[in-house]
Amino acid sequence: MINVNNDEINLLEEEWDILIILDACRYDTFEEVYKKILKRKGELKKAKTFSNGTKEWMDGNIKGMDCSDIIYIDPIIMFDMWLPNNTFFEVDRVWKYGWNYYYGTILPRQMTDSALKQMKKHPNKRIIVHYHQPHPPFLDPAFRKIVKNIVTPELVINIMSGKVENKTNDLSNCIQRQMMRVLGSERAWKCMIKLGIEPHGMGYTYKYLGMDKIIEAYKQNMMMALNSINRIISKSNGSKIVISSDHSYNFDGTKTRIRKAYVPWLEIN
């Protein structure tokens, strides 16, 4: 379910031909930039998805639903572990052939290319296009220069299968999470840096580039995705397009509080 302007609706029962999901998309940032980028503006509404992660969104909106007439354009490596193989009419697993090993993600243009091919191949099917942006990794070159470990599909699969240790649960990460819970993210990171302890995750990025740069890079990720989406809009031939998100995003990389986390619901007729 998703709540749009205080009206709870079933995502898949709504009238749309193409549903575009921007992963981890904040309503406020989307509202700020979309009119500058999109060629057709549509009607923007404020929505809640009742999830703070992609898996929760899939469980609440897709799992157990009839998706037999829907094609899913998929950048999510763990997708096959979360949903049965026969959930959709077809799943275009873009991560298997379109992964960018330099940035550690799937670039917006690759998702758009795949969507346009499916639109041409199956003009009468509904399509969900799930962009990985604006979710990190950030595509700003400044961030790529400081990244220590690039995410690959092979790495994620090995972590999920237990072949590689998931270091997010080690002692130093646990200590950082506790400090962030007590002090707040920036104060905790500043304290760690002062003590000579290197922060993890977004804290590592904060140490070298600062919060203003993180916010700007998130915005750039979103604008790159929206600019690519213009190609879908121009080829949609009168189809109804909805742009929304699976969950919102905190700039410090922590999970959002669902009651306070808003995402966009943009209808383009």
- Tens of pLDDT, residue by residue over 40-52, are 989 999 999 888 8
Residue-level pLDDT at 166: 65
83 located within any domain: yes
Residue 163: is its pLDDT beyond 90? no
Domain that includes residue 130, residue range: 14-141+217-268
pLDDT band at 168 (very low <50, low <70, confident <90, very high): low
In degrees, rounded to 5, the angle at the alpha carbon of residue 216 between the alpha carbons of residues 213 and 222 is 140
Higher pLDDT, 85 or 38: 38
CA distances 23 to 41, 46, 243, Å, are: 20, 16, 11
Q: Using one digit for the tens of pLDDT, what is the confidence trace for 172-216?
A: 788 888 888 888 899 999 999 988 888 988 999 999 999 999 999
Fill in the DSSP letter of residue 122.
-
The Cα–Cα gap between 222 and 106 comes to 14
Q: Which residues pair with 130 in a beta bridge?
A: 21
Tens of pLDDT along 2-61? Answer: 899 888 989 999 999 999 999 999 999 999 999 999 999 899 999 998 888 999 999 999
Q: Which residue has the tokens 């079933």?
A: 10
For residue 167, name the pLDDT band (cuts at 50, 70, 90).
low
Q: Tell me what pLDDT residue 173 has.
A: 80
Q: How far apart are CA 39 and CA 243, in angstroms?
A: 14
At 95-127, the pLDDT tens digits run 999 999 999 999 999 999 999 999 999 999 999
Within a domain: residue 168?
no
The answer to whether residue 212 is domain-embedded is no
Positive/negative CA dihedral, 15, 226, 57, 153: positive
Instruction: Decide: 112 and 229 in contact? Cβ < 8 Å.
Output: yes
Q: Residue 190 falls within a domain, yes or no?
A: no
Q: CATH number, domain at 120?
A: 3.40.720.10
Cα–Cα distance measured from residue 97 to residue 235, given in angstroms and rounded to the nearest whole number = 23
More confident residue, 76 or 144: 144
Buried b / exposed e across 105-134, counting CB within 10 Å, b at 16+? Answer: bbbbebbbbbbbebbeeeeebbbbbbbbbb
Average pLDDT over residues 125-151: 94
Question: Is 70 a member of any domain?
Answer: yes
If you search the block for the tokens 């213009």, which residue do you land on?
A: 230
51, part of any domain: yes
Which of 52 and 230 is assigned the larger pLDDT?
230
Q: Is residue 28 part of a domain?
A: yes
pLDDT of residue 237: 85
247-258 residue pLDDT tens: 999 999 887 776
Given a cut of 70, whether residue 228 has pLDDT beyond it is yes
Helix residue spans in the chain (DSSP H): 27-37, 54-61, 79-82, 108-121, 141-146, 153-160, 171-183, 185-194, 202-209, 211-234
Is 65 among the domain residues? yes
| pLDDT above 70 as % of the chain | 96
| Distances from the Cα of 180 to the Cα of 24, 42, 264, angstroms | 21, 39, 28
Number of domains observed in the structure of the chain: 1
